[in-house]
Amino acid sequence: MQMKPINISEKFKLFNEHWTPKKIGELNGQQLLLAKLKGEFIWHSHENEDELFMIIKGSLIIEFRDKTIELNEGEIYIIPKGEEHKPIAKEEVHVLLFEPLAIKHTGDITSELTVKTFQNI
């Protein structure tokens, strides 16, 4: 398979939906996802997988049961497996997610925001 450079800025121009990650690559059982976030997500956790958020554009608040953090452009945060969290984007935020292929978008919670299969772009 011939690899080509991936232009993240160009990939973000291909979609407008919020909270619907799009797959841009895979490596070693992991996937790279891009997502646009706006508003509040749901409380959820991933029992067996860590989750990495990298902020490409904007600012993201992540609430935990015992604390709240704010991530800004260029920052990365790894949420340990099993830790319940709720992302909040007051304005549109662009993120890169690095997650195992088997991860469930909303953990064991099913809602109207749940994405079962990530679209390749």
Tens of pLDDT along 43-102? 988 888 889 999 999 999 999 999 999 999 999 999 999 999 999 999 999 999 988 776
Distance from C-alpha of 102 to C-alpha of 90, rounded to nearest angstrom: 29
Q: Does domain 8-120 have CATH number 2.60.120.10?
A: yes
Amino acid sitting at position 80: P
pTM, two decimal places: 0.84
Residue 1 reports pLDDT greater than 90: no
Look-up of token digits 């984007």: 89
Residue 105 reports pLDDT greater than 70: no
Residue 19 reports pLDDT greater than 60: yes
| Structural domain boundaries in the chain | 8-120
* pLDDT higher at 121 or 54: 54
